[in-house]
Amino acid sequence: MRVLRRMAIRIVIVGALLAMAVVPALAQDSGSSDPNGNLEPAVTVTTPAAEPPKLDWTYRYMIPAGLVLGVVVIVLTSGQYFISVVRTRYRIVDE
């Protein structure tokens, strides 16, 4: 009786090892007639053309507003300098 149990256990173990070796090999069969073994996709997926990303609102509004504000500050500072320094530096003397 013990001999039959040991023999049955060995047969089950050998069968399990054989199944673990054979089943993955059968799963690798492509089923196609391609001699190189290249697999064909089941569904062809086309990727859409990549659109350029939209700029954030900071790039569209804040940066141009900052540039315009910088130009205005430079113009006003130059005008203020002219009015306060250059205009008072030279005076016309009556002859």
Per-residue pLDDT, 34: 59
User: pLDDT (tens digit, 9 = 90+) per residue, 40-50?
Assistant: 778 888 888 88
Which residues, other chains included, contact 32 with Cβ-Cβ below 8 Å and sequence gap of 6+?
38, 39, 40
User: pLDDT (tens digit, 9 = 90+) per residue, 1-55?
Assistant: 788 888 888 898 988 888 888 877 777 655 555 566 677 778 888 888 888 888 7
Token readout for 80 is 């203020």
Question: Three-state DSSP class for 52?
Answer: coil
Q: Phi/psi class of residue 31: alpha, beta or left (left: φ > 0; alpha: ψ in -120 to 50)?
A: left
Per-residue pLDDT, 70: 97
Q: Taking 90 as the threshold, does the pLDDT of residue 71 lie above it?
A: yes
